[in-house]
Amino acid sequence: MANLRKEAQGRDCQIRLPGVCNFNPETTVLAHYRMAGTCGTGIKPDDSQAAWSCSCCHDVIDGRVKSEYTREELRLAHAEGGLRTQVILRGEGKL
């Protein structure tokens, strides 16, 4: 399997929060989706359980920056971004 963290570099944000996303591929990183049973204190989820995220969307998703979005809206946007990321990677044969 490809190095999914490196694959995020230079890619388009797949979370795309309206009013938040900077649409700058130079800031894109792999943002891990945290879900009970797949991670814990100091333990990140597997890299396949993540979305390509610009720095602005990542800051809001991780709670470093406050926004008007509810927790549920952020989790849904992150999960959908993860699915879009997986579709791209599968299409490229990297997942």
CA angle 89, 94, 95 (to 5 degrees): 75
The answer to whether residue 58 is catalytic is: no
**Catalytic annotation, pick one of 17, 21, 32, 77:** 32
**Can you give the length of the chain in residues?**
95
For residue 17, count CB atoms less than 10 angstroms from its CB and return exposed for 0-12, middle for 13-18, buried for 19 or more: buried
- Give the residue numbers marked as catalytic: 32
